[in-house]
A and B are shown apart, each in its own frame.
Chain A
Amino acid sequence: MPKSAAEPQNPNADVAALSYEQARDELVQVVARLEAGSAPLEDSLALWERGEALAARCQQWLDGARERLAAVREPVDE
């Protein structure tokens, strides 16, 4: 079935390109807005989905950092 123009695109696709700081700062903002609770229901759901995507991205960064640290581990006395 051909992709129709009406099929919704993933609004959180841009998260994959964010740096760690960018994702984390946006995540803090999203949580703040959710906790304020003043957004319409549809928007709140979308916000929550974005929050999840951002949190996953941050965790991905941290896991990657740990791996890089472990990879450089050499014996300290040569």
Chain B
Amino acid sequence: MVLAGLVSMQDATTSDGTGPTTGGRLPLPVKAGDTTAERPWPVRHLAPKIADYIARMPPVWVEGQILNFKRWNNLWFLTLRDTDLDMSLSVTAPLGAIGKVADQVQDGSHIVIHARPQFHAKKGTLSFSADDVRLVGLGELLARIEHLKGVLGQEGLFDERRKKPLPFLPGVIGLVVAQQGDAEHDVVSNARARWAAAQFQIRRVTVQGPRAVPEVGAAIAELDADPRVDVIVVARGGGSFEDLLPFSNETLVRAAAACRTPLVSAIGHHLDSPLLDLVADFRASTPTDAAKRIVPDVTEERARLVQARSRSRAAIRARIEREQAGLDAIRSRPALATPTTLVDQLEQRLHVLRDTARRSLDAALRHGHAEIVGLAAQVRALSPAATLDRGYAVVQGPDGHVVRDPVDVGAGDRLRIRVAAGELAADVTT
């Protein structure tokens, strides 16, 4: 095989590899699909074909963020990186294409370019050659954010109902902060001042520029996956509108919305809130404010606990005393305390009845007695003995009738004559 390789190399300078051959070499396959391990194309044959293929692609407007731009002679070289994902393209632009924009751009600037692809056959690299480079203006970016806000709002990602309550006492606090700056110190020291035992899992990431979105997103996902982390804080200090752009980026905001652990947004800002604030479960105005919300003030809580215990003890004691007083009152009622009154009362009623009965009887007897005495007197008064004593006689006829008139009897009638000392019988003569 070495021999065959030598032969090819020798012919490399004299033959262009297509068409009729010289020196016994086979013709090259016309199409890429026809190549095989035994009949390959040489690099010098492939590269120009790729160049042709790519040259057929029309120019395109493409946007991204600037990374690493530098000038060399009359050309600007920059990497154009996707705003959300870790993908980038090499771009070259002549001075004329960049123009005034050169003074305004920096790492992270959003630009839109009009470029055509170029395949460099010698090195086998692809780059884009731009003939127009424009800044995506602040106005444009703001409009895009507003639009995104509308879309996400429609999807309900900002709904109150989606917001999870923060844990009262988190086991571990996840913290996403910049490498430098005060945000980390603000959160950690303030939290520990309130509760000394606060535990943190800290992810130090880029918080502005083109690397921010993937790094912050990855940190959030990592902390969310950790079951020990009960709350996540994304904190950074204030910055310019451009600095805070990553926190209104769709990929990052959706990642925060999808996070199942409660998430606190602590992005220092002056005017408009970044969209992360709207989708977070809680928004703090500063990292310090966030620290105060994620852990309770232990001294204060302890004081409240002591107070709650003494109040509950006092309340139950008061209740017991009240019930005891009520019970004592009931037990001292005569019905319970001196139950003999029950019997006494009945006994008394009994006596009363008996006396009444006796008195009634007495009265009746006396009444009867008086009546008898009276009647006896009347009888005596009515008796004729006194009259007889005076010498009068009572004359009764044969039928018993008292004779008052002589015509009541006839001659020969037997009469009964009663006198004081007895009676006699007589016959009527005339």
B335 and A20 contacting across the interface, CB-CB below 8 Å: no
A62 and B320 contacting across the interface, CB-CB below 8 Å: yes
Residue B2 at the chain A interface, CB threshold 8 Å: no
Given A48-B335, A69-B313, A76-B310, do A62 and B345 touch, yes or no (CB 8 Å)? no
Q: Which residues of A contact B331 (CB under 8 A)?
A: 55
Given A34-B342, A77-B306, do A62 and B336 touch, yes or no (CB 8 Å)? no
Residue of B nearest to A47 (CB): B335
Beta-carbon contacts under 8 Å, A2-36 to B: 20, 24, 27-28, 31, 34-35
Q: Which residues of B contact A62 (CB under 8 A)?
A: 320, 323-324, 327
B333 and A20 contacting across the interface, CB-CB below 8 Å: no
B306 and A76 contacting across the interface, CB-CB below 8 Å: yes
B316 and A55 contacting across the interface, CB-CB below 8 Å: no
Q: Which residues of A contact B323 (CB under 8 A)?
A: 20, 24, 58, 62
Say what secondary structure dominates the interface of chain B: helix
Say what secondary structure dominates the interface of chain A: helix
Tell me, rounded to whole Å, the shortest Cβ–Cβ distance linking B318 to chain A. 12
Given A24-B326, A55-B327, A77-B306, do A44 and B336 touch, yes or no (CB 8 Å)? no
Residue of A nearest to B309 (CB): A76
Residue B330 at the chain A interface, CB threshold 8 Å: yes
Residue in B306, B326, B335 whose CB lies within 8 Å of A51:
B335
How many Å lie between the Cα of A20 and that of B324 in the bound state?
Answer: 11
Tell me, rounded to whole Å, the shortest Cβ–Cβ distance linking B366 to chain A. 35
Tell me, rounded to whole Å, the shortest Cβ–Cβ distance linking A70 to chain B. 11
A52 and B336 contacting across the interface, CB-CB below 8 Å: yes
How many Å lie between the Cα of A1 and that of B93 in the bound state?
Answer: 121
How many Å lie between the Cα of A27 and that of B122 in the bound state?
Answer: 108
Q: Which residues of A contact B343 (CB under 8 A)?
A: 41
How many Å lie between the Cα of A51 and that of B342 in the bound state?
Answer: 14
B320 and A66 contacting across the interface, CB-CB below 8 Å: yes
Residue B339 at the chain A interface, CB threshold 8 Å: yes
Given A48-B342, A62-B320, A66-B320, do A24 and B327 touch, yes or no (CB 8 Å)? yes
Residue in B309, B313, B327, B335 whose CB lies within 8 Å of A58:
B327
A69 and B317 contacting across the interface, CB-CB below 8 Å: yes
Residue of B nearest to A23 (CB): B327
B interface residue numbers (CB < 8 A to A): 306, 309-310, 313, 316-317, 320, 323-324, 326-327, 330-331, 333, 335-336, 339, 342-343, 345-346
